[in-house]
Amino acid sequence: MANIKDVAKKAGVGIATVSRVINNSGYVKSETRLKIEKVIKEINYMPNEIARSMTLQKNNIVAFVLPNSTHLFFGELLYYVEEELFEYGYKVMICNSSEQLEKELVYLDMLKNNRVDALILLTNNDIEKYLDKNLRVISFDRRFEGVPYVASDNYQGGVMAAKKLLELGCKNFMFIGDDAQGDSTPVITEVTKRRIGFREYLHSVGIDNVVNIEYPLGNYMVSTEEVHDMLTGHMDVDGIFTISDAVAWAVIKELEKNGKRVPEDVKVIGFDGGRSFINLGKRITSIGQNPQLIAKAIGESISSFYNKSTVEDKIIPIYFSEGETA
Amino acid sequence: MANIKDVAKKAGVGIATVSRVINNSGYVKSETRLKIEKVIKEINYMPNEIARSMTLQKNNIVAFVLPNSTHLFFGELLYYVEEELFEYGYKVMICNSSEQLEKELVYLDMLKNNRVDALILLTNNDIEKYLDKNLRVISFDRRFEGVPYVASDNYQGGVMAAKKLLELGCKNFMFIGDDAQGDSTPVITEVTKRRIGFREYLHSVGIDNVVNIEYPLGNYMVSTEEVHDMLTGHMDVDGIFTISDAVAWAVIKELEKNGKRVPEDVKVIGFDGGRSFINLGKRITSIGQNPQLIAKAIGESISSFYNKSTVEDKIIPIYFSEGETA
């Protein structure tokens, strides 16, 4: 009967690598994992997967709860998370919450009932009271007491946008975003730091009259009509930083409708990276998030749950994404 | 101790509905399902989920294998499939195959090992020999012997594009797509029918000199450089139908680079629906696929596996999506 040595020999790898694949206990390159799995099948070395999972108390599934996977950046993040976790032997279960807390809780229950091994949580809801630091949850873009998180360096993103608009000669600044720190709702996401970095940097150079527009949290697909109302009375601004490229899109459309030229009259910088492969017009100037690095960090964090007692928080660098709107 | 009647009463629904939720045996509106699940928890009526799954031989997970969820249309389809299957009590596991057959086979094995209940397969690979008509597989946009499929009405989409371009006065036609029927590769997808419908309709009105460009299958993100080569020697065409909006995008960019105006000099119709929320330029004229209806059909098919002996193939209507490029 075939044993682990036969598998290693036939696949041309070490026993330790085969063991990592079988026990699902660490990172193995996709190509190598697929090769080993193929050999295991070919020579019929197939330990009972379910029995093994039961012993390990693992079923090798990670749930990813996010508001909406058709949001361009979230969709990219999902893609890389699935690709990265596959290398660790995990399959990814997707939950588009559409911002419904109740739906998020269904997946949290699956975690509590051991139907999934870990949960990646991307939410704007008031879910904190249902969390517990003993659960294997990784939060993206949001801090919860005792829950490890991964986020882009949103603060530096705000600083970078402010510096760029100043460098381009802007005088009257505006921030548009859907956070609401210090206001009615108590939900504070990491994303708020985009605004804080932007305003603090401008403050440090003596600029305090930044027009600050906030709209209800979680409203990713803001319409040009809504933006119309936001801009009313502020048509003198010449440097706008928005919380996402989707919002920048609506802002630019609305400015142009009002006879403003972008970037000649008003410069607009978005957030996420300005990627969109069927954009037939200008490319949005943007602060880029790197979904591949974020996915890598999430993969490491989930792996750490099984190897370490503490999982580190991780802040991922942002970058300036050249475009045609600033 | 709480029983099913208490749950039904408190949730304000019939016992049959609660039973459908518990046994995961049919469609229940998301809102209703969430309400029932909440009541079940509140009054502590919690049949052992795992034991129940074992009895039913179900784990309520459906895997969705697709090439790349960042492709705009596939991403939308994934969103609606997850939303729809949630109503049937299924969770969705995502696999971005990136066209790797080996990765697809990992998920097919999960189906064979009962780790997932059903598989939605969207592939260009030569996977037919691994399939078996007793497996619960739904194929999208591709026909395999004995495997039920769901597809948009691609043939009518091609006819619709041809009619529209004729109506707009085009004389010299071109089709660009990544299918290869009758050529070296034996893989024929349903998508091929876009070309067949387009060419057969033109043939029926006496037009046979359609320039037909084919490029390697599965190359969704065709670059403007590749399109440059495709268009070389064919700069006299004035009506182009492409297999996707992503390809239409590259074609339009390349035409404009060559001094052609779209739609004045050349009219271009894409396929998928022309949706993109950060497009700052022209909206692509397109034949639209309806991801919501497709997801509904997939949900019904998967549900039918457990209720009927045969699962019907389903063809979903397409629609004309008004734009600015034709």
Beta strands per DSSP E along chain B: 61-66, 91-96, 118-121, 137-140, 149-152, 173-177, 211-214, 239-242, 267-272, 286-288, 314-316, 319-321
Q: Which residues of chain B does A282 touch, with a Cβ-Cβ cutoff of 8 Å?
A: 280-281
Q: Which among B69, B115, B248 has the least Cβ separation from residue A78?
A: B69
Give the Cα separation of B206 and B221 in Å (integer): 33
Specify the CATH architecture of the domain B4-54: Orthogonal Bundle (1.10)
Residue B39: per-residue pLDDT: 86
Closest chain B C-alpha to A120 CA, distance in angstroms: 14
Look-up of token digits 């339009």: B252
The pLDDT of A299-321, averaged and rounded, is 91
The answer to whether the CB atoms of B281 and A276 lie below 8 A apart is no
Identify the closest residue of chain B to A50 by CA–CA distance.
Answer: B115
DSSP symbol at A129: G
Whether the CB of B257 is below 8 Å from some CB of chain A: the reply is no
- Mean pLDDT, range B268-290, rounded to an integer: 90
By CA distance, what is A30's nearest residue in B? B103
User: How distant, in Å, are the alpha carbons of B229, B252, B277, B281, B302 from that of A280?
Assistant: 20, 8, 12, 5, 38
Token pair belonging to B19: 């039973």
Token pair recorded at residue B61:
């997970």
Instruction: Spell out the residues 6+ positions from residue B206 whose beta carbon is closer than 8 angstroms to its own.
Output: none
CB contact under 8 A, B109 and A41: yes
B109 part of contact set with chain A, CB < 8 Å:
yes
Question: Which range among A182-191, A296-305, B31-40, B108-117 shows the weakest confidence by mean pLDDT?
Answer: A182-191
Nearest Cα neighbor of A156 from A183, A124, A194 is: A194
In A, minimum Cα distance to B86 occurs at: A95
Put simply, whether A224 touches B (Cβ < 8 Å) is no
Residue-level pLDDT at A55? 52
Superfamily of segment(s) B59-150+291-314: Response regulator (3.40.50.2300)
Q: How far away is chain B from the Cα of A207, in angstroms, using its nearest Cα?
A: 30
* Alpha-carbon gap, residue B48 to A325, rounded angstroms: 56
The Cα of B116 is separated from the nearest Cα of chain A by a number of Å equal to 11
Block residue for tokens 């998020």: A104
CA distance B276 to chain A (A): 7
Provide the pLDDT confidence category of residue B291 given band limits of 50, 70 and 90. very high
CB contact under 8 A, A280 and B282: yes
**Binary contact (B276, A279; C-beta < 8 A):** yes
Residue-wise pLDDT tens digits, B68-90: 888 889 999 999 999 999 999 99
Are A70 and B68 in contact (CB < 8 Å)?
no
Per residue in A242-273, pLDDT (tens digit) is 999 989 999 999 999 999 999 999 999 999 99
In chain A, positions 115-154, which contact chain B (CB-CB < 8 Å)?
A: 115
Confidence of residue A162 (pLDDT cuts 50, 70, 90): very high
| pLDDT band per the 50, 70, 90 thresholds, residue B45 | confident
Q: What average pLDDT does range A116-145 have in this prediction?
A: 91
* Residue B182: exposure state from Cβ atoms within 10 A (0-12, 13-18, ≥19): exposed
* pLDDT (tens digit per residue) in B195-211: 999 999 999 999 999 99
Percent of chain A with pLDDT over 70: 91
> Token pair of B309, please?
């002996």
Listing DSSP states for B94-162 in one string gives EEE-TT-HHHHHHHHHHHHTTSSSEEEE---S--GGG--TTS-EEEESB-BTTB-EEEE-HHHHHHHHH
Test mutation, B96, B278, B284, chain A, max A CBs within 10 A: B278
At CA B204, angle to CA B187 and CA B176, rounded to 5? 40
Q: Does A38 lie at the interface with B, CB-CB under 8 angstroms?
A: yes
ipTM: 0.83
**Residues of A with Cβ-Cβ distance to B82 under 8 angstroms:** 69, 94-96
Q: Which one of A73, A96, A110, A278 would you mutate to disrupt binding with B, by most B Cβ within 10 Å of its Cβ?
A: A278
Partner B contacted by A85 (CB < 8 A): no
Residue type at position A91: K
Predicted confidence (pLDDT) at residue B222 exceeds the cutoff of 90? no
End-to-end Cα separation, chain B, in angstroms: 66
Residues 262-291 of A with CB under 8 A from B: 276-284
Query: Would you state the structure tokens that stand for residue B316, as one six-digit string?
Result: 């979903």
- CB contact at 8 A, A203 and A302: no
pLDDT in tens, A55-112: 556 789 999 999 988 888 999 999 999 999 999 999 999 999 988 999 999 999 999 9
Cβ-defined contact of B94 to A98 (cutoff 8 Å): no
Q: Which helix (H) or strand (E) holds A286?
A: strand A286-288
Q: For residue B222, what is the nearest residue in chain A, using CA coordinates?
A: A277
B49's enclosing H/E stretch is helix B49-56
Tell which wins on pLDDT, B146 or A169: A169
Does this model's pTM top 0.90? My answer is: no
Which CATH code for domain A154-288?
Answer: 3.40.50.2300
Which residues does A136 contact at the CB level (< 8 Å), separation at least 6?
Answer: A111, A117, A118, A119, A302, A305
Statement: residue A182 has pLDDT above 70? no
- Quick one: fold of A59-149? Rossmann fold (3.40.50)
B34 at A interface, C-beta within 8 A: yes
The answer to whether the A4-54 and A154-288 domains have the same CATH topology is no
List, as ranges, residues 51-70 from A with C-beta within 8 Å of B: 61, 63, 68-70
Residue B227 CA to residue B252 CA, distance in Å, equals 10
Nearest residue on chain A to B83, judged by CA atoms?
A: A96
A93–B91 C-beta distance less than 8 A:
yes
Boundaries of every domain in chain A: 4-54, 59-149, 154-288
Measure CB to CB from residue A93 to each of B76, B92, B98 and give the nearest one: B92
B100 touches chain A (CB under 8 A): yes
pLDDT (mean) for B86-101: 92
| Helix axes of A15-23 and A4-11: crossing angle, nearest 10 degrees | 110
